[in-house]
Amino acid sequence: MTPALVPELSVTDWRATQSVLHTLGFTTKYERPDEGFAYLTREGADLMIDQIGTGRDFDSNLTPPLGRGLNLQIRVTDAQSLYAAAQSANLPIPLPLEDKWYRTPAGQEGNRQFIAALPDGYLLRFYQDLGTKP
């Protein structure tokens, strides 16, 4: 079943972005090379990437860094191992691995999280649920 929300990221090099996403545990569900397009998935989180200037563009005047002001939060089962993989691949890490507790009406919810940057500047925040506390 396709999620209710699937972000599509306009990128300057879809193959390079796809490779980085594979490093971060995504697999390619399908691709259309003639359009510079790929649909990727990871533990129920789906993303599409589309190369600027190839296929259909909604805005061809984009320049990196792209996605300013937005990070996509993606739940994972093992943030620590994924963080190690991102470090081994020398990916930019704007937010190193941390345990963070957030206030909610019911108490606090914990995340083990980090942010990795894609080649064009999009930020992916990977988090592992640490549960709740009063």
- What is the residue-wise DSSP string for the chain? ---S---EEEES-HHHHHHHHHHTT-EEEEEEGGGTEEEEEETTEEEEEEETTSS--S-TT--SSPSTT-EEEEE-S-HHHHHHHHHHTT---SEEEEEEEEEETTEEEEEEEEEEE-TTS-EEEEEEEEEEE-
- Where exactly are the structural domains of the chain? 8-55+67-133
Q: How far is CA 70 from CA 18, 19, 36, 125, in A?
A: 19, 21, 23, 10
Indicate whether 1 pLDDT > 80.
no
Percent of the chain at pLDDT exceeding 70: 100
Cis peptide bond upstream of 65, omega within 30: yes
Q: What is the pLDDT of residues 76-122, one digit of tens each?
A: 999 999 999 999 999 999 999 999 999 999 899 999 999 999 999 99
Percent of the chain at pLDDT exceeding 90: 86
Report pLDDT for 58: 77
| Domain 8-55+67-133 CATH assignment equals 3.30.465.10 | no
Rounded CA-CA distance 72/62 in Å is 19
Q: What is the pLDDT of residues 11-65, one digit of tens each?
A: 999 999 999 999 999 999 999 999 999 999 999 999 999 999 887 777 778 888 9
Rounded CA-CA distance 97/116 in Å is 10
At residue 120, φ and ψ (nearest 5 deg) are -90, 5
Pull the structure tokens for residue 91. 């990916």
Report pLDDT for 100: 97
Report pLDDT for 92: 96
Report pLDDT for 112: 98
Paired with 75 in beta bridges are 127
Report yes or no on whether pTM surpasses 0.85. Answer: yes
